[in-house]
A = this chain, B = another copy of it.
Amino acid sequence: MEQGLLHLYWGDGKGKTTAAMGLALRALGSGKRVVIVQFLKGGNSGEIPLLAQLGAEIYRGKAGQKFVFQMTPEEKAATRELQNQNLAAAMAQPADLLILDEAGSAEELDMVDVDLLKKAVLERPAECECVLTAHTPPQWMLDAADYSTEMKCHRHPYQKGIKARKGIEY
């Protein structure tokens, strides 16, 4: 049995989620079973329906459309509970590749149970490859990663006031 490795894409540059989803596509193209959790993301990102159509199991969504800092304590608790449920459901699926998108932000914003997240990553089945994305990763992610790639933003058009565009940023 091949040992599954841990990938961490982190930093402030564009491309973390896109690289993770590109890897999902590559794995699907090689007949692998892919399970994806997108923390704190709902909405209408272009790649999600295609990955689902190609056979990926995808868990996503949040309660409401607010940013975490805008939520009432009750909304925060409900959102956190939804993220935990999504993660637990994903962990129950057989996977050759498990992608936990925005795992770093979920931890940073206290929107996931950290013990459950660590269990999902560090106690996954030995053959399961795992991918995490994070803006500012906690130290345990940096320590555990077999691949650690920092995506460093040198230039981004939001610096010129250009807004996120469908099919490019989402």
A residues sitting closer than 8 Å to B (CB atoms) are 2, 5, 7, 9, 11, 13-15, 17-23, 25-32, 45-51, 54, 96-97, 129, 142, 145-157, 160, 162, 165-168, 170
Inter-chain CA distance A17–B149, complex, in Å, is 13
Copies in the complex: 2
A151 cross-chain contacts in B, Cβ below 8 A: 13, 15, 149-152
7 contacts between A and B (CB under 8 A): A15-B15, A15-B22, A18-B22, A25-B25, A26-B47, A28-B46, A30-B166
Inter-chain CA distance A62–B14, complex, in Å, is 30
A31 CB to closest chain B CB (Å) equals 8
Task: Please state if B155 and A152 are interface contacts (CB–CB under 8 Å).
Answer: no
Inter-chain CA distance A54–B50, complex, in Å, is 9
Give which listed residue, B22, B153, B157, contacts A19 with CB less than 8 A. Answer: B22
A48 cross-chain contacts in B, Cβ below 8 A: 29
Residue of B nearest to A96 (CB): B167
A103 CB to closest chain B CB (Å) equals 16
Inter-chain CA distance A166–B129, complex, in Å, is 12
A152 CB to closest chain B CB (Å) equals 4
